[in-house]
Amino acid sequence: MRTLTKEMQSDLSPEMAVQLLKDGNQRFVDNLKLNRNLLQQINETCDGQYPFAVILSCIDSRTSAELIFDQGLGDIFSCRIAGNILNDDILGSMEFSCRLAGSKVIVILGHTKCGAVEGACQHVKLGNLTALLDKLRPAIDAATSEKPECDLSDAAFMKDVGRLNVHHVISEIPQRSQVLAEMLKNNEIALIGGMYDVDTGKVTFYED
């Protein structure tokens, strides 16, 4: 598998970049990962990098974006934080990835059985974690609005919170970043969400 070059990255459309991720996840699920010479990729990326995607995912040990999407060194930027929440530093990282480094798609990737989502639903208070979990409150409120009588500890409810949090982050990005909003308007990049199933390894993309 060839390492991405500047020319290869430039030739990719946002739609093609999304398809690369879909194809990679299918290989991951089928246990048919591409053969890569990682030492060669180290040598080929030592003077520069041209990733085609930036992926915001959770710190959960089961959700490594490089593995889930069967990508190698230099292929993707990976932002990881509990609950795949958004903050100014992550927004700045996305702006760098897309405007300056040429990435073609931003993916907000949630996952099933997320500990951060569970903690937020259970109103966990613990040092600096408290403020992080508070960023999941809009998704909890949205889920509660959809199902007012639902038990917050119910697995199906927490799954809904994870889904709604992905959509919330997607909606926040163009509102909080003029740089990314302009790139989206000009169709220079795509912005999509997805949910990784820790039971199957499959990513379900939210493309609406």
CATH number at residue 55: 3.40.1050.10
Backbone CA torsion sign across 118, 61, 106, 16: negative
Asked if the structure places residue 164 within a domain, the reply is no
User: For the sheet containing 105-111, what is the strand order?
Assistant: 76-80, 53-57, 105-111, 190-196, 203-206
Output the pLDDT for position 148: 76
Asked if the structure places residue 133 within a domain, the reply is no
pLDDT in tens, 147-175: 777 777 788 899 999 999 999 999 999 99
Asked if the structure places residue 138 within a domain, the reply is no
Output the pLDDT for position 152: 78
Banded model confidence at residue 208, pLDDT cuts 50, 70, 90: low
Output b/e per residue, 28-56; b: 16+ Cβ within 10 A. beeeeeeebeeeebeebbeeebbbbbbbb
- The response to whether 60 counts as a known ligand-binding position is yes
Domain count, the chain: 1
CA–CA gap between residue 61 and residue 14 (Å, rounded)? 28
Asked if the structure places residue 116 within a domain, the reply is no
Give the domain extent around 95. Answer: 6-110+171-206
> Regarding beta strands 76-80 and 105-111, do their DSSP bridges make them parallel or antiparallel, or are they unpaired?
unpaired
Closest by CA to 97, choosing from 64, 57, 58, 54, is 54
Question: What CA dihedral angle connects 80, 84, 86 and 92, to 10 degrees?
Answer: 20
Cβ partners under 8 Å of residue 198, min gap 6: 60, 62, 63, 111, 112, 113
Question: What CA dihedral angle connects 50, 54, 59 and 61, to 10 degrees?
Answer: -60
pLDDT in tens, 60-104: 999 999 999 999 999 999 999 999 999 999 999 999 999 999 999
The pTM assigned to this predicted structure is 0.95
- The response to whether 46 counts as a known ligand-binding position is no
Asked if the structure places residue 44 within a domain, the reply is yes
Cα separations in angstroms, 100 against 69, 90, 96, 103, 183: 23, 15, 5, 8, 12
- The response to whether 167 counts as a known ligand-binding position is no
Banded model confidence at residue 207, pLDDT cuts 50, 70, 90: confident
Backbone CA torsion sign across 11, 17, 22, 25: positive
